[in-house]
Structure 1
Amino acid sequence: MIKNFLKIIILSVFVFASCSKEDSYDEISVDAAQRDPLTAQQVNSKIDEAIATKGSFSWKNASNHLLWSASFRGNHIITIGFGNSATDFDRSKSADNAKTQASILNLVAHYEGKSKEDVLLSSDSYLNLVDVYIEKQETIIALRKAAKIRYVEPGDYKYFETAQQKVSLAESSSSSSSGCGFESSTLSTSDFTTVSPGAKVPWSFYQHNIPTAWNTATGRGITIGIIDTGVSPNQTLLGTNFNDGLSTGRTIQKFGTYVDSIWPWSTSTDGPNDQCGHGTSMSSVAAAPRNDNGLPVGVAYNSNLIVYRAASNVVLDGYHEQNGVKNAFTALANNTSVKIISMSMGHIFSSGKIEDGVKYAYSKGKLIFCAGGTSTSFTNFVGVIFPAWMAETVAVTGVKEGTSNQKCDVCHSGGKIEFTVQMQRAASGNTVPVTSYYDNQNDYVGGSSVATATTAGIAALVWSKNPSWTRDQVLNKMRQSATYFPNRNADYGYGNVNAALAVQ
């Protein structure tokens, strides 16, 4: 009896000691000079300085004070990526993800002096990441010291909210420079050729021998996923008339992952309808139908489309836009019919949750094209933007007519670029004709955005010619068909893809 009693005491002491050790946390103090948060202008200045001196900015390299200041200016939201290694992002492949997440929430709750329920904003279903509310700099310091933490980032910091950046965004607000816009344009007759049964072929398609490629492949049987601002409900060529003319036997699906709310806890999306115009243009150039409506045809006019409204505009700034893009990537990743993903949006620095979404889609075999960057006065000092600079994506930019190494007036270039598309005319400066936001109207669209959607369409042509191929086989064929192959230009990659060669 006494022996049993002693065993119980010893066991209880051991359990208590174990629990105490697991729940023990370091005492953390913050220097007096670091206790006040930086202003948004000061945070932006630090980011700009890093980009100017190092070529890029990452929150991983930011000081604790800078990271906390950005979260303070961004609704106190922090995104935490966790896992056993830098590549452990997939929940389905992490046996202990629930335990790791619980440990992280315990840590945050301890330093914040709140319950786990009060600090947790959201937990991703597919990726090893959580969004939490953090007010104290000590919590961020503790997290960055903890085991199994892949990254700690501000989840709702909006870089483009100062007055100067708003001016810059306004400058690039028209569709002609690859931003938002609902306008239409009268097309110059020199910018298109009419083909049967009455569709307009943009001038740029001929620069890449796309019409010749149509004799071999038109994209049939291939599904392209577009992550953008959605599709206009007023453009029937991307709706009820999508499956029309020479483009029969295919489908278009529309979804929304963007939450249009100033409140981070809101979860209701506002649907698939484009409220910017950009997504409509990208969908048009990739796969608009070839019929007798007298409007511009898309590159892969027989491919299927799945379009996500994932953001309000082309700059992925803030919690709901980055969340919307991440959710679109995971949804397309889990859709086995999708071969290609095209996204003509981005940011001048990375987002861990979007990185995870891209890597998740890549792990599912998707071929991902992203815009190298389009801007005017404010961000033209930036090279290739995120996520186009990632190893898992194919970065595309726009060049001027008749060239493969003269970027368009508003396009970015750099070592991460893989392909280029001629999308700006030499004499007139006109860009690429597309169907407009409204029925029976045309428009022009430019920048690396239209270059990216065009390249995604060419990939669909190649894949439809070779339906059993892998992503790498399709990509290698495109490289082999481009200007500089087998070499690579320092700022323009392999250059312009010859679609006719690519489908041979």
Structure 2
Amino acid sequence: MRKNVFYLLVLFFVLNSCTTEEFQNENPTIEISQKDPLSAKQINAEINQSLKSNGSFSWSKTSDHFLWSAVFQGNKVASIGFGSSQKDFDRSLSSNSHEIQNEILSVIKQYEGKEESRILITSDPFLNQIDVVIENQETIIALRRMKTIRYLEPGDYHYFENENKLNGTAKSSGSSSGCGFESEALNATDYTSVTPNAKVPWAFTKHNIPGAWSYSTGSGVTIGLIDSGVSSDQSLLGSSFNNGASSGRTITKKGVYVDSVWPWSTDTDGTNDQCGHGTSMASVMTAPRNTTGLPVGVAYNASLIAYRAASNVVLDGYHEQNGVKTAFTELGNTASVKIISMSMGHIFSVGKIEDGVKYAYSKGKLIFCAGGTSTSFTNFVGVIFPAWMPETQAITGVKEGTSNQKCDVCHSGSEIDFTFQMERGSGNSVPVAGYYNAQTKYVGGSSVATAATAGIAALVWAKNPSWTREQVLTKMRQSATYYPAADANYGYGNINVLKAVQ
């Protein structure tokens, strides 16, 4: 018995002391106990159990068989983050990123029996991240043994889509995915008029934004918006971006979303918002102080770079996650951008998006993300990803006159940094310019709270153009309800914007 134990210990030591090159050359046989993949129903059931029991789910904590099953059920696409350490995400700062990537691809080629051209989908130019095709469970096991793998995740597993197919509870309507093109007449009690002929939403007044405009209007600051794009049919967010009291600024629209079921497709579908959500976010942040009788944005003299990165707010699938990652890295590399706002997310982490957020943060960007807005299925979830990341400021919406009563569909939790009043006793939310010219609508949830708070940050930064990100954040905190002691679930609460710019 002792001799057997000794041999096992020696074998363990030898296997774990091999270099990557030795491991690859030996191509050891991998024993598999479960050879058939789990069904989408079984995969979602385990994810849901983890979310409800632990409040979180991570691919890294699952078994090899479970991870392979999800890769298999998701077009056999895997997303790999690599590096010499968990912090090694920036390709430009990695002296051996090329060598590590080649080692990983070599292992995949050996276990898949295919050439690189049939394996590699894309290699990110800025991040230590690749997307690959994997069919065999042995490949997953071999890769997980490599110390240079930071994360290995399914790259195209549609959790929400599968949940809806199985239970009819997720992403079941346009409203649950944040989309809508409807026009709504505004109640006269929900706005005040301001020169030259614009409407100031009631929520702005609650945060002393009109008073702050005497000190700052966002001029000289550029905000990056990651969302579903901006409508080409709303001229105030296009050719008339400089209208009324708004002047000397620019709006730039970019499209990085590929509308295809095939992960290897690369043709983007343009910049136009085909959902309506991104248009609303752009409006509440930067709509001009106009002459047309439509609602004005918080930072009506700030410039805007708006990305169509996804089809809607639920980042479910390869092209939506890849589009968001790309938007973060490109905005990170855009020197003029100081602030990034994203009112989209997922209920568990996505490695490539996490890398994108970290990359943009490393470039000095101040990032605001939505804390979460419930659908019928996700109302048990706390703060969503990536708002829970330390690199982001998590924002949620609260009811009028409060800092600690979340809106009926908003999330809260210890990761929340600021709140924004966006729900009235009447049930009405925040007025914004509509998808089409001369139209208006109401927008709620943590989405509008996030975009509005990003606009507030632009006012503070424009007033103090030499400040760093941390100085801007400090001023926002000092001007909020709960400073200096943040609330356990609502952060620093509502910002008094007039105080923040004085």
Band of TM-score, shorter chain: over 0.9
Q: Report the CA distance between 1:53 and its aligned residue.
A: 1.2
Q: Report the CA distance between 1:24 and its aligned residue.
A: 2.4
Cα distance change, pair 218–18 in 1 and its aligned pair in 2 (3 A): closer
CA distance in 1, matches of 2:168, 2:339: 33
CA contact (8 A) 1:285 1:450 kept: yes
Q: Equivalences for 1:26-105 in 2 at 5 Å?
A: 26-31=28-33, 34-105=34-105
Q: Report the CA distance between 1:378 and its aligned residue.
A: 0.5
Q: Report the CA distance between 1:27 and its aligned residue.
A: 1.6
Q: Could you report, residue by residue, the CA deviation over 1:184-217 in whole angstroms, capped at 9, with x for unpaired residues?
A: 1000000000100010000000111101110100
Q: Report the CA distance between 1:64 and its aligned residue.
A: 1.1
Q: Report the CA distance between 1:167 and its aligned residue.
A: 4.5
* Partner amino acid, structure 2, of 1:455: T
* Partner amino acid, structure 2, of 1:310: A
* Partner amino acid, structure 2, of 1:91: R
- The counterpart of 1:23, out of the listed 18, 22, 25, is 25
CA contact (8 A) 1:399 1:421 kept: yes
Q: Could you report, residue by residue, the CA deviation over 1:107-129 in whole angstroms, capped at 9, with x for unpaired residues?
A: 00101111122111110000001
- The answer to whether 1:243 aligns with 2:242 is yes
Structure-2-length-normalised TM-score: 0.94
Q: Could you report, residue by residue, the CA deviation over 1:404-445 in whole angstroms, capped at 9, with x for unpaired residues?
A: 11110110110100000000002x100000000000000000
CA contact (8 A) 1:91 1:97 kept: yes
What secondary structure does 1:52 align onto? helix
What secondary structure does 2:186 align onto? coil
- The answer to whether 1:106 aligns with 2:103 is no
CA distance in 2, matches of 1:314, 1:337: 26
What secondary structure does 1:380 align onto? helix
Cα distance change, pair 30–460 in 1 and its aligned pair in 2 (3 A): same
Aligned counterpart, 1:457: 455
Q: Equivalences for 1:326-341 in 2 at 5 Å?
A: 326-341=325-340
CA distance in 2, matches of 1:392, 1:20: 38
Cα distance change, pair 73–401 in 1 and its aligned pair in 2 (3 A): same
Cα distance change, pair 25–467 in 1 and its aligned pair in 2 (3 A): same
CA distance in 2, matches of 1:414, 1:136: 40
Aligned counterpart, 1:436: 434
CA contact (8 A) 2:224 2:339 kept: yes
Q: Report the CA distance between 1:26 and its aligned residue.
A: 2.3
CA distance in 2, matches of 1:22, 1:63: 22
CA distance in 2, matches of 1:212, 1:165: 49
CA contact (8 A) 1:178 1:449 kept: no
CA contact (8 A) 2:153 2:351 kept: yes
Cα distance change, pair 287–390 in 1 and its aligned pair in 2 (3 A): same
Structure-1-length-normalised TM-score: 0.94
Cα distance change, pair 185–50 in 1 and its aligned pair in 2 (3 A): same
Q: Equivalences for 1:128-147 in 2 at 5 Å?
A: 128-147=128-147
Q: Could you report, residue by residue, the CA deviation over 1:380-406 in whole angstroms, capped at 9, with x for unpaired residues?
A: 110000000001000000011111111
* Partner amino acid, structure 1, of 2:470: D
Q: Equivalences for 1:225-244 in 2 at 5 Å?
A: 225-244=224-243
What secondary structure does 1:169 align onto? coil
Aligned counterpart, 2:6: none
Cα distance change, pair 89–18 in 1 and its aligned pair in 2 (3 A): closer
Cα distance change, pair 377–106 in 1 and its aligned pair in 2 (3 A): same
What secondary structure does 1:104 align onto? helix
CA contact (8 A) 1:178 1:445 kept: no
Q: Report the CA distance between 1:58 and its aligned residue.
A: 1.1
Q: Report the CA distance between 1:166 and its aligned residue.
A: 5.0
Cα distance change, pair 123–414 in 1 and its aligned pair in 2 (3 A): same
Q: Equivalences for 1:164-313 in 2 at 5 Å?
A: 167-171=169-173, 173-174=174-175, 179-313=178-312
CA contact (8 A) 1:478 1:502 kept: yes
CA distance in 2, matches of 1:190, 1:457: 23
What secondary structure does 2:489 align onto? coil
CA distance in 2, matches of 1:62, 1:472: 37
Q: Which moved more, 1:125-134 or 1:160-169?
A: 160-169
CA distance in 2, matches of 1:102, 1:349: 29
Give the superposed CA RMSD.
1.4
CA distance in 1, matches of 2:48, 2:22: 44
Aligned counterpart, 1:14: none
Q: Report the CA distance between 1:147 and its aligned residue.
A: 2.0
Unaligned runs of 5+ in 1: 1-16
Q: Report the CA distance between 1:165 and its aligned residue.
A: 6.1
Aligned counterpart, 1:400: 399
What secondary structure does 2:409 align onto? coil
Runs of 4+ that moved beyond 6 A? 17-21
What secondary structure does 2:446 align onto? helix
Q: Could you report, residue by residue, the CA deviation over 1:13-47 in whole angstroms, capped at 9, with x for unpaired residues?
A: xxxx997665222221111xx21111111111111
Identity of aligned residues (%): 66
* Partner amino acid, structure 1, of 2:44: N
CA contact (8 A) 1:76 1:134 kept: yes
CA distance in 1, matches of 2:31, 2:117: 25
CA contact (8 A) 1:127 1:356 kept: yes
What secondary structure does 1:411 align onto? coil
Q: How many residues align?
A: 482
Cα distance change, pair 46–360 in 1 and its aligned pair in 2 (3 A): same
Q: Report the CA distance between 1:169 and its aligned residue.
A: 2.2
What secondary structure does 2:380 align onto? coil
CA distance in 1, matches of 2:444, 2:23: 59
CA distance in 2, matches of 1:445, 1:96: 47
What secondary structure does 2:499 align onto? helix
Cα distance change, pair 165–442 in 1 and its aligned pair in 2 (3 A): farther
Q: Could you report, residue by residue, the CA deviation over 1:330-366 in whole angstroms, capped at 9, with x for unpaired residues?
A: 1100000000000000000111000000000000000
Aligned counterpart, 1:490: 488
Aligned counterpart, 1:8: none
CA distance in 1, matches of 2:23, 2:137: 23
CA distance in 2, matches of 1:361, 1:267: 23
CA contact (8 A) 1:121 1:130 kept: yes
* Partner amino acid, structure 2, of 1:28: I
Aligned counterpart, 2:3: none
Q: Which moved more, 1:155-164 or 1:477-486?
A: 155-164
